[in-house]
Amino acid sequence: MSRPTTRQLLLLGVAQAVLFVAGALLGRWLGLLFGLDAFGAGYGNSSIVGILLIGLGGGAGAQLGRMWFTRKYGSPRS
């Protein structure tokens, strides 16, 4: 398989960025739904779990963008 074009790699970056933000927002909203405010006062257990949900959501979104790109265009490392 041929190497990805610059346009395709830019599309990968944009897709990962957009889905990272969407995943982080989803994690934030889920945290708020369960009463886990990441930006609450102090660093109690509920704040830490809220931060974890935001990080997991953002990471999952970025991975989703990479999986989409790989399925459509092949590996970006080729």
- Distance CA(67)–CA(39), nearest Å, equals 31
Q: Which amino acid is at 13?
A: G
Q: How far is CA 8 from the centre of its chain?
A: 19
Enter the pTM of the model.
Answer: 0.89
Q: Which value, in Å, is the radius of gyration of the alpha carbons in the chain?
A: 16
Taking the alpha carbons at both ends of the chain, their separation in whole angstroms is 7
Question: Is the pLDDT score of 3 beyond 90?
Answer: no
Task: Assign 2 a pLDDT band (cuts: 50, 70, 90).
Answer: confident
pLDDT digits (tens, 9 = 90+) for 27-54: 999 999 999 999 987 889 999 999 999 9
